[in-house]
Amino acid sequence: MVKKLDLRNLACPEPVLKTKEALEEMEEGILEIKLNSFSSIQNVKRFLQNQGIYFNEKKEGKNTIINAIKGYSCEIPESKESKSFWALIAGAAITAILASTCCLGPLLFLIFGVSVGSLSFLHIFAPYRIYFTIAAATIIIYLWLNYFLKLRKRPVCSGSICKNYVKYLSIGTVFVLIMLTYPFWAQYLFMGE
């Protein structure tokens, strides 16, 4: 069922109030809202987002059409998405650290200024460096593809992971790149003049 609302040329907060009334009358279906005021568009989108209602928008000449979908589940719950994101970032960071274990002792000595001879056992991971590198790079690439192909197109974004996905992923990517490339540039760091 598609219900249409023409809310053009209405002063705020009328578009939001009429949208709320129309949604309350509907049990499920699509509410097509036609707007032409920037502030009305933003207010209606904010209202729908706060209500957890999935919506999309499109331009039609000077007007904007917002399709609000009520009664259907349109996205993955935030908690599952959040847990999988943090698990993947942690996995990428751990595999990147394991990939750079051959040179981790000197780095820790340089940073902390103490002997870290007890970490000499980390050399057992050196033969598996390529596998750890591939795993870390694969996880980071998967997360970026997930963002560009799926999450970026999502019209409703709620929760801290969704809103800060790029920031968190960028920090994780920089950390993983530093750890993966560390064995290559570390020799210049320790050689000095």
Helical H segments across 100-164, by residue range: 104-112, 129-149, 160-163
Angle between helices 78-99 and 165-191 (to 10 degrees): 10
Amino acid (1-letter code) at residue 130: I
Amino acid (1-letter code) at residue 58: K
Domain range 2-70, CATH architecture? 2-Layer Sandwich (3.30)
What pLDDT shows up at residue 107? 63
Taking a C-beta distance cutoff of 8 angstroms, is the pair 156, 77 a contact? no
Domain residue spans of the chain: 2-70, 78-191
Distance in angstroms between the alpha carbons of the first and the last residue of the chain: 74
Q: Which residue is it, tokens 């002063």?
A: 11
* For residue 76, pLDDT beyond 60: no
Amino acid (1-letter code) at residue 113: G
pTM for the predicted model, two decimal places? 0.54
Q: State the pLDDT confidence band at 193, using cuts at 50, 70 and 90.
A: very low
Taking a C-beta distance cutoff of 8 angstroms, is the pair 8, 36 a contact? yes
* For residue 21, pLDDT beyond 60: yes
Question: Tens digits of per-residue pLDDT, 112-161?
Answer: 665 666 666 667 777 888 999 999 999 999 999 988 887 766 655 556 67
The C-alpha atoms of residue 178 and residue 97 are separated, in whole angstroms, by: 10
